Amino acid sequence: MNQQPTRKIVIAHYRPDIVSGAENSIADLIEQIDPRFQVTMLVPAGGNLANFFRKRGFQVWVKHIETPRRLFPGLHTLQSRLLASEFRKREVDAVLCNTFPAASRVSTACRMAGVPFAIYMRDYLVDTPINRLLLQQTEMLFAISRDVIRQHSAMTDPARFRLTYNFIKPDPILDRYEAHLASGRRLVPFDSSHPVIGLVGRITPYKQPDLFIRAIPTVLEQAPEARFVLVGAAQEREKEYEISLHRLADSLGIGNRLEFLGQRNDAVELTSEFTVACLASGREPLGRVILEANLLGVPVIVPDTGGPAEIIENEVTGLHFSSSSPDSSGRLAQQIIRLLKNPELRDCLVDKARDRILHTFASHRHVEIQEELIDQLCSTARQ
């Protein structure tokens, strides 16, 4: 049997301060990948992300590259030439951009060094000439759902896309769950006699936490014992939106039934205490929080569009609702009420969801698919 070649891979990241689902997903993948892939995480500065990757046991390379069109436009070109030289010295076989913004930092250097690069498509892009150009410069685009491919197929050659659903490593999540159970602590700020409905995610308009909040009064009409939590925080430029959500809760008279828990490092443990987990986004590429809830045995309600509708089968592994209808908050509320009133339905959904995720997203086949694609990417080295 022929031994496969060693591959030197650099994975580029954009923000040094955020560890989100994208970073957890790539870390889960690389921990399981074949050792012949020698992976280095390229981060633009020291901080939370670099520390996260080092704790996971990865090689970290700190290198800041200005993105184009800054105050000194020639700086990006100069830094890219230096980075291209580093790529050649390190004999890098391919660069993976873990998000689309990361590609803006390294694409020029990749072209200069003749190193093929791919972008993990984890978001929906605005169709602009600049975004089209960057998509068309890649060898491959790793899309985390079919919906992501559909949304961008007009912006570049569809043949560039590869479907690469996120791999999720179940053991660390389940270990945290077991340790939390053993501790006897309760993190949700409500008594255990109250069913808790939660939404986890960055507070930003497209995730529609306002829709979740607007659903609460309708739920309380039929389930007055219910309580609600929002886990997450807004980035600095969207702080006013977060403040508006507090005002909305106060105007609806539900301030004592809803808690804003902010950004947390124990979201897994918090989710394990939910009775129901919701995702309210207008359109979500995938939604790692859904996969985590599936593993933790928490039933989920998700929009009937985007990636969540692909990974959750309505009435089988979770419930859908229309997140874009005029009465979207009412429809979400009715699905929450269904689950609160029907424990048998909750149990059925949970069992099937956990079984499905263990045979799909948590399956090693998801790792093998990406190994094959990275090998293909490396074989397209530019001359």
**Residues whose CB falls within 8 Å of the CB of residue 301, separated by 6 or more in sequence, listed in order:** 276, 277, 278, 279, 318, 319, 320, 321, 332, 335, 336, 339
pLDDT value at position 1? 47
**What is the average pLDDT value for the chain, to the nearest integer?**
94
Starting at the edge strand that comes first in sequence, how are the strands of the sheet with 94-97 ordered? 59-62, 37-43, 7-12, 94-97, 117-121, 140-143, 161-163
Domain 7-168+363-378 and domain 170-359 have a common topology: yes
**Cβ(159)–Cβ(140) below 8 Å:** no
Rounded CA-CA distance 256/270 in Å is 19
pLDDT digits (tens, 9 = 90+) for 303-357: 999 999 999 999 999 999 999 899 999 999 999 999 999 999 999 999 999 999 9
Kindly state the average pLDDT of the residues 58-76: 85
Of 76, 5, 91, 77, the C-alpha closest to 40 is: 91
3-class state of residue 125 by DSSP: coil
70 — pLDDT class (breaks 50, 70, 90): low
Q: Residue 199 pairs with which residues in a beta bridge? A: 230, 278
Class for the domain spanning 7-168+363-378: alpha beta
Looking at CATH, the fold of the domain delimited by 170-359 is given as Rossmann fold (3.40.50)
Can you give the residue ranges of every domain in the chain? 7-168+363-378, 170-359
Q: Give the pLDDT confidence score for residue 331 in this predicted structure.
A: 97
Amino acid 383: pLDDT:
45
Share of the chain above pLDDT 70, in %: 98
- In this predicted model, what pLDDT tens digit does every residue of 276-286 receive, in sequence order? 999 999 889 99
Q: Is 263 helix (H, G, I), strand (E, B) or coil?
A: coil
Q: Which long-range contacts (CB under 8 A, 24 or more apart) does 202-206 make?
A: 202/20, 202/232, 202/233, 202/234, 202/235, 203/230, 203/232, 203/233, 203/234, 203/238, 203/241, 203/242, 203/245, 204/234, 204/235, 204/238, 204/241, 205/238, 205/241, 206/281, 206/282, 206/283
Confidence (pLDDT) at 74: 85
Percentage of the chain exceeding pLDDT 90: 90
Q: What is the pLDDT of residue 47?
A: 94
